[in-house]
Amino acid sequence: MASRFLAALSVFVAAFLALPSLHASKKKKGEGDDGVYKGFIVVDAASGKTLLSENANVVTPPASMTKLMTFLVVHDAIRSGRVALDTIVPITGEDAKMGGTQVYLDPREQYPVDELLYAMMIQSANDASSALARLVGGSRDAFVDLMNAKARELGMSNTRFVSPHGLPPASRRVEEGDLTTPADFALLCRELLANTDVLKYTSVKKRVFGTGQRLEPMQMQNHNNLIGRVVGVDGLKTGYTKAAGYCLASTAQRNGKRVIVVIMGCFGPGGTIDMGRSRDRKSIELIERGLAAIPAESQFGGPVSPVSSPAPANDSPVAPAAGSHNEAKAEEPLIKFPTSKK
């Protein structure tokens, strides 16, 4: 029965991953250069109110946005006293062989937790994520269990993590990798903003890594192109894999108002690989619209209330964007899957 469920899930996931390209192929010549995306949500960080949404419950890979949950679990360990920012993290050969975006950790090196958090949030370093997960969880699997427990605690009911970094599984089967929704991820972002110092790390545009340990320290560059470009933007995390598309969980604060924007599954016109330009343009638009929609009295800070459920798609103030998917009922994810780890 489980195999039939996974097979059915695979078909659903493949269908939704294909939708951007299929929809974009119907565009008429001269219609514009808007990209496509799977879904988004815009939330008032202070009240938790959903301001704008479209397909906010579409289940899709978060890619490196996964590292935001890794950060939260590490932060919980620091807050409980199990580790500290200056705890030294030995590097293993497994860490060094993670692949993808890295700071090229070497087993002969040792770094404090704080430095690896910067590497994970600025450079999106998969090797730093691996080392932190092993330190806090004792093993990757044990750390992933902590990630999923935290997701359940936050009410992320349509989320399942299988890694601390968001890299695709060895099988390359989407349904076997990390999966979440824009709405679920907004819950995570709001928790981070309200109860951690995540902005200390995500607001940094550039930082040198390896000073004192390497002959040639590495210059890290934040992958979030909105930092330093859009007033008030100070986080949070980008993501990209071929299956996930370009993803971005962003936040901005102006005049005491703070907005959270999560957009996932972005591609360029016709489903093309555009280095995240369409994702960034749409995110900027949503940030501006979101901030404009937040009442002046809704000031971010202090105790927060839960994020509200996104409005049904046909009631959303967002006009259907070029390349967006058919709308789904807000109370149901577009794909269902078991969140328990087997």
The residues annotated as belonging to the active site are 64, 67, 124
d(C-alpha 285, C-alpha 223), whole Å: 19
Tokens 């749409």 — which residue? Answer: 282
d(CA 129, CA 330) in angstroms, rounded, equals 32
Structure tokens given for 294: 């937040």
Answer for the pair 340, 334: CB distance below 8 angstroms, yes or no.
Answer: no
Provide the Cα torsion 313, 315, 316, 317; round to 10°.
150
Q: How far apart are CA 337 and CA 87, in angstroms?
A: 37
CA-atom Rg of the chain in angstroms = 19
User: d(Cα 327, Cα 64) in Å, to the nearest integer?
Assistant: 26
Measured distance CA(316)–CA(299) in Å, rounded: 23
Ramachandran class of 304: left when φ > 0, alpha when ψ lies in -120 to 50, beta otherwise: beta
Q: How many residues does the chain have?
A: 342
Neighbours of 118 (CB within 10 A): 22
Q: Is 24 helix (H, G, I), strand (E, B) or coil?
A: helix
CB 41 within 8 A of CB 183: yes
Residue 10 tokens, joined: 């695979």
Pair 159, 184: CB distance under 8 Å: yes
Burial of 3 (C-beta count, 10 Å sphere; 0-12/13-18/19+)? exposed
Please list, in sequence order, all residues whose beta carbon lies within 8 angstroms of the beta carbon of residue 108, skipping any fewer than 6 positions away. Answer: 91
Token pair recorded at residue 245: 């598309």
